[in-house]
Amino acid sequence: MKALLEPAIRRALRELYDLNLDSVELIPTKKGFEGDITFPVFFLAKTLRKPPAAIAAEVGDKLKELLPDTVGGYNVAGGFLNISLSPEFYTRFLREQTKRPGYGIRRPDPSLPGVMVEYSSPNTNKPLHLGHIRNSLLGYAVSAIIEATGKPVIRTQIINDRGIHISKSMVAWKKFGEGETPESSGIKGDHLVGKYYVEFDKQYRKEVKELAAQGMDEETAKREAPIMREAREMLKKWENGDPETLALWKMMNDWVLEGFRETYRELGVRFDTEYFESDTYLLGKKIVEEGLRKGIFYRKEDGSVWVDLSDEGLDEKLLLRADGTSVYITQDLGTAVKRFEEFDIDTLIYVVGSEQDYHFKVLFSILKKLGYPWADRLYHLSYGMVHLPEGKMKSREGTVVDADDLLQKMYDTARKISEELGKTEGFPPQEKEKIYKIIGKAALKYHLLKVDPRKDILFDPKKSIDFNGNTGPFLQYAYVRIRSLLHKAGDWQAEFAVPEQWDEKEKDLLKQIIQFPDIIRNAADTLNPAVVANYLYQLVKTYNSFYQALPVLQAPDSDTRARRLALSAVTGDVIKNGLALLGIEVPERM
């Protein structure tokens, strides 16, 4: 509606008042007023020296002249021009959409600069957990939503595959593993490495306790525990390129990476490119040296390099240690520059939890000081924590909620609830299991994405799998009901005459469908998939109200029947497309 009316209104203002505007504001007509879309004209009164109501009436007459097949009428309420669209407009729109599924989704334009979205970015010392799930789902959905506006998107992650945390798992495996592998143990690779990370921690605590019992103070005991000294020594060997250490590191990292990929496949998440900290951790050194030459950074007496950001309300930040080794932010500087060199991107979005807010303020500030022209187009999509009811689904380590365990829990819960309700009665066993997975993943994804990313979430698996209310399975079930309705209709055609007047329930549904492209743009602009999720919930509620109030298959005449079937088909298409933006699959039956 906006795409059609906005240029016409600007033309009307130009022809009536010789007034050239780049854009005009259009809003949905408030409930209780006749009309479909409203143009507020108060802002013109002072310029044109006319009462707002007079301006609204003149613009309304002009619009009827310019768009006789679109504008059916108008009314003026103070300074608001309430425009009613014609039955011809709605009929034309519905006919067009039944002929081209995919309403609202634009294909990426390869001639445009892209947007890079970084998400997940785990450490290779343990499996993915619930925090990674929210991160991955959020990053993937944001990528899909931006892509649906026509911009190319590059999905990426940086895998933190070096450092003391990796060395800990390696030391423990050497000491206690007895050659255990994923194949010999039947344990998924990332879980196996995580097992030895936990073993390290057990041994470390034991040794610290023993040293403390011998009279050593706690800090010294933590530093001097034999297994911790072994981990530090292994890290030095890795950095010095010791062949045996590198071979062990590569073997265990490969186990973890294959485990990650299996979890990503199960979750329905993918990446276009990946970076590894082992490749990028030295990248920032040249940038730091350049900043020193320019006087942006400074060196302290011990040789360490710092930047002073106190003028921006931040602190001093270490960039290189006294021994010349890089810190985490040094790597991030280098990786950011590398990405803009390697890809034609306009924007770089980091999907990282809110505990890293300060880190990204510092990173972006440093890049601006260094004069990179794209530094203003970096964005930290900061998201909140996910909490679960106490005692639920603790992983075998007893500390975090494991991603694989959580997915299995969702499948089991979907199976239990579906069977209790008789939803899959009579389905072949293989199809049942496939549907349980689709429902379980939908419940998980929708529950995590329907909340504004900046807010914390309390996630209860059982409540998320509900065929009523604001849940993924509720939306899936609405789609399945529509598909069933269209199947029962048999061989129908979306051919129908222009009705003398559309029923209000039909118009309410159509107006919501028409909003879908604007919803996608809003979600992309705000990097908020919850905008799409909650739109879909409102759309399904509107469709259910339409379906309960108006007969479809038993409509009074063939034109009305075809029109309502077309409305149902397009609604189903929007539900499917909208859920796909959230990474959610829809079954054909449930």
Residue 395 has pLDDT above 50, yes or no: no
Question: Residue 313: its pLDDT value, please?
Answer: 92
Residue 332 has pLDDT above 70, yes or no: yes
CB 532 within 8 A of CB 505: no
Q: Beta strand pairing status for 298-299 and 27-28?
A: unpaired
CB 434 within 8 A of CB 159: no
SS3 583: coil
Residue 31 is encoded by which pair of tokens? Answer: 């409930």
Q: Which CATH superfamily is domain 2-85 in?
A: Arginyl tRNA synthetase N-terminal domain (3.30.1360.70)
Question: Residue 401: its pLDDT value, please?
Answer: 82
Question: Residue 544: its pLDDT value, please?
Answer: 97
pLDDT band at residue 327, thresholds of 50, 70 and 90? confident
Average pLDDT over residues 207-235: 95
> How many residues in the chain?
590
Instruction: Read off the DSSP letter of residue 123.
Output: B
Displacement of CA 564 from its chain's centroid (Å): 33
Distance CA(525)–CA(499), nearest Å, equals 37
Distance CA(145)–CA(535), nearest Å, equals 14
Q: Which of 99-103, 191-195, 323-327, 384-388 has the highest mean predicted lDDT (pLDDT)? A: 191-195
pLDDT band at residue 392, thresholds of 50, 70 and 90? very low
Question: Residue 391: its pLDDT value, please?
Answer: 45
- 230's CB contacts (< 8 A; 6+ apart) are 171, 175
SS3 554: coil
Average pLDDT over residues 252-280: 96
Q: Measuring CA to CA, which residue among 392, 386, 243, 369 is closest to residue 312?
A: 369
Distance CA(511)–CA(341), nearest Å, equals 44
Share of the chain above pLDDT 70, in %: 98
HSE-CB of 274 using CA atoms within 13 angstroms: 14
Average pLDDT over residues 402-428: 88
Count other C-beta atoms under 10 Å from residue 23's C-beta. Answer: 10
- Distances from the Cα of 334 to the Cα of 320, 331, 393, angstroms: 13, 5, 39
Average pLDDT over residues 77-105: 92
Instruction: Read off the DSSP letter of residue 129.
Output: B
- Distances from the Cα of 45 to the Cα of 25, 49, 74, 243, angstroms: 15, 5, 19, 79
Residue 427 is encoded by which pair of tokens? Answer: 């389905």
pLDDT band at residue 394, thresholds of 50, 70 and 90? very low
Count other C-beta atoms under 10 Å from residue 258's C-beta. Answer: 13
Distance CA(590)–CA(435), nearest Å, equals 7
HSE-CB of 217 using CA atoms within 13 angstroms: 2
Residue 57 is encoded by which pair of tokens? Answer: 């009436």
Question: Residue 390: its pLDDT value, please?
Answer: 59
Distance CA(553)–CA(558), nearest Å, equals 9
pLDDT band at residue 399, thresholds of 50, 70 and 90? low
Higher pLDDT pick, 392 / 311: 311
Which residue reads 């005449």 in tokens?
Answer: 557
Phi, psi angle pair for 205, to nearest 5°: -60, -40
Computed from CA positions of residues 450, 451, 453, 456, in that sequence, does the dihedral angle turn out positive or negative?
Answer: negative
Each domain of the chain, given as residue ranges in start order, spans: 2-85, 163-268
Share of the chain above pLDDT 90, in %: 84
DSSP string over 172-209:
HHHHH-TT--HHHH---HHHHHHHHHHHHHHHHHHHHH
Give the chain's mean pLDDT.
Answer: 93
Q: Beta strand pairing status for 457-458 and 386-387?
A: parallel
HSE-CB of 281 using CA atoms within 13 angstroms: 14
Residue 535 is encoded by which pair of tokens? Answer: 């739109």
Helix (H) / strand (E) element for 381: namely: strand 378-383
Burial pattern 298-318, b for ≥16 Cβ within 10 A else e, equals eeeeeebbbbebeeeeeeebe
pTM across the whole model: 0.91
Instruction: Read off the DSSP letter of residue 345.
Output: E
pLDDT band at residue 468, thresholds of 50, 70 and 90? confident
Average pLDDT over residues 192-202: 95
Residue 393 has pLDDT above 80, yes or no: no
